[in-house]
């Protein structure tokens, strides 16, 4: 169904009103050599953070559908965490948890609707006090202006994939090009020309991709055209045996991807010239689709291929740009004294259960990728299976920096795990809580507990429970709640869940009241 390779790529390459601007995204700025002056006791930290990047779309995690050679460089040179989970699988809440080291009910951002209170304690503020220079570039998505940073340049809201406007202390700046490339360009410029070389740095390079609308970059527009992406086994899931929540969500590939998602209509914010080029790239494929008159399973399969290929094309641009960052560190003599962390705000459904998006406590959206390279400290090519969360990131960054971790933060530093040892009394379970209902995708509110083997979820406004044995049912297709064989396990998990809610001071009343019925 694809157009001729050269014509399609050339059309998209010029979408951003000038190939020269896009070409900047593939040019490494000149590097001034020089290692971090503060020595190995105060390493630099580069935090590369993406949006909605599922671990199952990373080859280091065993992806069957794509290759990510630069993310794999981190896995080969450091530690890969197999069991990193979010506390609340949605964009702004995850970011607030990372900044504060506190669960959503305490940091004031349980959903995407709230404005983050920048006056509260955050790890960047504490790192500045410890002598670090801090910067955040890219997606912020917390509505208020960033605080605790020496430098910031962030997208407005979610930000577009092309020609983004960026918020700065001096006002908005209009950029021309592909957003993933631009965020990397700005990060490299700050590293080369903007930072104080007498201080260690903490740089948060935060990408919009691969968030919805999955608009590919010019270098990858025709990736995967020549093959079909393998379908997940649960693409045609009918939710038999599951409760109300799984059956009543609004995030199916079959029914809820819209025409813009599927590139059956163009982006709304393109200029007339860009629209013309968009039509050059997509009209031929869309005409072939319209002529095919697909329906039923064939239509679902077509939508899945259309969705997953655009998603993966966006991932490939992220991987390219991570490679540019890693190359810069090496060329600038910074690699040996820089801790590089790669993660994403949550996981994502890549057709599993017939879904896209996130929100549920099921594995695909609960699990976050987390890879850490720390030369001389983390052994190369190591995997860790301890239960960790984004709740631990703030404490980890502070610990790496040699700064004190405040007692009111709720996570634990991962420094010991990175060094290859599990600290005494490490957690045996994690707590999850999702609040944003009613809202887009209509995923019901729920909280739950996950251990190494089991998961218990309570959809509390429905008073429905779900229990999964992850060893026997890793795809979570069979709800075992009420099964007499699992009665004792259920009781133990309910006690564990109650204990976690007490530990994290979770109030009985939601911080976001349900609307009147």
Contacting residues for 238 by C-beta, under 8 A, at least 6 apart: none
Q: Work out the pLDDT band at 32, boundaries 50, 70, 90.
A: very low
Would residue 484 count as lying in a domain? no
| pLDDT score, position 516 | 67
Would residue 149 count as lying in a domain? yes
378: CATH:
3.40.720.10
Give residue-wise pLDDT tens across range 380-429: 999 999 999 999 999 999 999 999 999 999 999 999 999 999 999 999 99
Structural contact between residues 5 and 225, judged by C-beta atoms closer than 8 angstroms: yes
Residues 366, 422: Cα–Cα separation, whole Å: 22
Whole-angstrom CA distances from 211 to 53, 159, 291, 320, 346 are 8, 10, 30, 17, 11
Strand-pair category, 44-50 with 338-344 = parallel
Would residue 75 count as lying in a domain? yes
Residue 344 falls in which region: left (phi positive, over 0), alpha (psi -120 to 50) or beta: beta
Q: Hey, what are 192's tokens?
A: 């080369």
Percent share of the chain, pLDDT over 70:
91
Strand-pair category, 464-469 with 454-459 = antiparallel
Q: Work out the pLDDT band at 3, boundaries 50, 70, 90.
A: very low
Query: Helix (H, G, I), strand (E, B), or coil: what is residue 159?
Result: coil
Dihedral pair phi/psi, residue 40, rounded to 5°: -70, -20
pTM of the shown model: 0.93
Residues 56, 440: Cα–Cα separation, whole Å: 24
Residue 352 DSSP code: G
Give residue-wise pLDDT tens across range 122-160: 999 999 999 999 999 999 999 999 999 999 999 999 999
Compute, in degrees rounded to 10, the torsion defined by CA atoms 52, 55, 60, 63: -100
Whole-angstrom CA distances from 398 to 69, 80, 131, 135, 329 are 29, 20, 11, 15, 21
Mean pLDDT over each residue of the chain, to the nearest integer: 91
pLDDT score of 225 more than 50? yes
| pLDDT score, position 279 | 80
| pLDDT score, position 19 | 37
| pLDDT score, position 26 | 41
Contacting residues for 438 by C-beta, under 8 A, at least 6 apart: 515
What would the mean pLDDT of 351-357 be, rounded to a whole number? Answer: 98
Q: Work out the pLDDT band at 444, boundaries 50, 70, 90.
A: very high
Give residue-wise pLDDT tens across range 257-271: 999 999 998 877 676
| pLDDT score, position 130 | 97
pLDDT score of 22 more than 70? no
Overall domain count for the chain: 1
| pLDDT score, position 290 | 80
Q: Hey, what are 206's tokens?
A: 């935060």
Q: Hey, what are 426's tokens?
A: 């490490």
Q: What share of residues in the chain are helix, strand, coil (percent, to 5)?
A: 35, 15, 50
Would residue 450 count as lying in a domain? no
Give residue-wise pLDDT tens across range 365-386: 999 999 999 999 999 999 999 9
| pLDDT score, position 23 | 37
> Where is pLDDT greater, at 34 or 371?
371
Cis peptide before 210 (omega within 30 of 0): yes
Paired with 383 in beta bridges are: 80
Residues 321, 327: Cα–Cα separation, whole Å: 10
Cis peptide before 138 (omega within 30 of 0): no
Q: What's the Rg (C-alpha) of the chain?
A: 23
| pLDDT score, position 41 | 64
| pLDDT score, position 203 | 98
Would residue 20 count as lying in a domain? yes
Give residue-wise pLDDT tens across range 464-478: 999 999 999 999 999
HSE at residue 315, side-chain half, CA atoms within 13 A, is: 28
Range of the domain at 12: 5-28+42-423
Report which of 486, 479, 503, 488 is spatially closest to residue 431, judged by C-alpha positions. 503
Would residue 140 count as lying in a domain? yes
Structural contact between residues 349 and 368, judged by C-beta atoms closer than 8 angstroms: no
Q: Work out the pLDDT band at 15, boundaries 50, 70, 90.
A: low
Structural contact between residues 137 and 190, judged by C-beta atoms closer than 8 angstroms: yes
Would residue 451 count as lying in a domain? no
3-class DSSP string for 386-428: CCEEHHHHHHHHHHHCCCCCCCCCCCCCCHHHHCCCCCCCCCC
Residues 455, 319: Cα–Cα separation, whole Å: 32
| pLDDT score, position 472 | 98
| pLDDT score, position 253 | 98
| pLDDT score, position 284 | 78
Residues 165, 473: Cα–Cα separation, whole Å: 45
Residues 165, 173: Cα–Cα separation, whole Å: 6
Would residue 444 count as lying in a domain? no
Q: Work out the pLDDT band at 5, boundaries 50, 70, 90.
A: very low
């Amino acid at each position: 169904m694809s157009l001729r390779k050269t014509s399609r790529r050339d059309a998209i390459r010029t979408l951003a009103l000038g190939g020269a601007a896009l070409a900047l995204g593939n040019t490494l700025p000149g590097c001034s050599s020089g290692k971090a002056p503060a020595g190995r006791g105060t390493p630099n930290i580069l935090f590369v953070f993406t949006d909605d990047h599922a671990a199952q779309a990373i080859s280091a995690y065993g992806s069957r559908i794509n290759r990510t050679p630069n993310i794999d460089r981190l896995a080969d040179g450091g530690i890969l965490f197999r069991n990193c989970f979010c506390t609340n699988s949605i964009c702004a809440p995850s970011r607030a948890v990372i900044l504060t080291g506190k669960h959503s009910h305490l940091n004031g951002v349980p959903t995407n609707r709230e404005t983050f209170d920048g006056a509260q304690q955050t790890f960047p503020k504490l790192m500045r006090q410890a002598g670090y220079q801090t910067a955040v570039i890219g997606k912020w998505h917390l509505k208020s202006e960033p605080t605790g940073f020496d430098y910031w340049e962030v997208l407005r809201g979610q930000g577009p994939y092309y020609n983004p406007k960026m918020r700065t202390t001096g006002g908005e700046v209009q950029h021309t090009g592909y957003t993933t490339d631009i965020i990397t360009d700005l990060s490299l410029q700050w590293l080369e020309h903007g930072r104080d070389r007498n201080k260690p740095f903490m740089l948060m390079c935060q990408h919009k991709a691969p968030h919805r609308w999955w608009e590919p970059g010019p270098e990858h527009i025709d990736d995967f055209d020549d093959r079909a992406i393998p379908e997940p086994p649960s693409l045609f899931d009918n939710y038999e045996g599951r409760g109300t929540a799984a059956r009543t969500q609004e995030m199916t590939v079959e029914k809820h991807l819209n025409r813009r998602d599927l590139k059956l209509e163009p982006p709304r914010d393109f200029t007339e010239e860009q629209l013309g080029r968009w039509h050059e790239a997509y009209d031929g494929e869309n005409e072939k689709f319209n002529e095919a008159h697909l329906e039923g399973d064939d239509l679902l399969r077509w939508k899945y291929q259309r969705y997953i290929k655009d998603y993966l094309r966006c991932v490939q641009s992220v991987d390219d740009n991570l490679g540019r960052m890693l190359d810069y560190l090496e060329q600038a003599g910074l690699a040996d004294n820089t801790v590089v962390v790669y993660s994403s705000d949550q996981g994502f459904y890549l057709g599993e259960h017939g879904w896209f998006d996130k929100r549920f406590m099921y594995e695909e959206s609960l699990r976050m990728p987390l890879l850490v390279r720390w030369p001389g400290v983390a052994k190369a090519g190591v995997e860790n299976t301890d239960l960790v969360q984004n709740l631990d990131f703030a404490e980890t960054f502070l610990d790496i920096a040699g700064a004190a971790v405040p007692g009111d933060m709720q996570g634990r530093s991962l420094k010991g795990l990175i060094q290859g040892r599990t600290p005494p009394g490490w957690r045996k379970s994690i707590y999850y809580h999702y609040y944003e209902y009613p809202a887009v995708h209509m995923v019901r509110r729920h909280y739950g507990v996950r251990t190494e083997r089991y998961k218990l979820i309570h959809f509390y406004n429905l008073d429905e429970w779900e229990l999964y044995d992850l060893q026997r049912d890793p795809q979570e297709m069979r709800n075992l709640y009420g099964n007499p064989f699992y009665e004792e396990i259920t009781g133990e998990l309910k006690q564990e869940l109650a204990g976690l809610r007490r530990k994290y001071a979770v109030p009985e009343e939601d911080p976001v009241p349900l609307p009147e019925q």
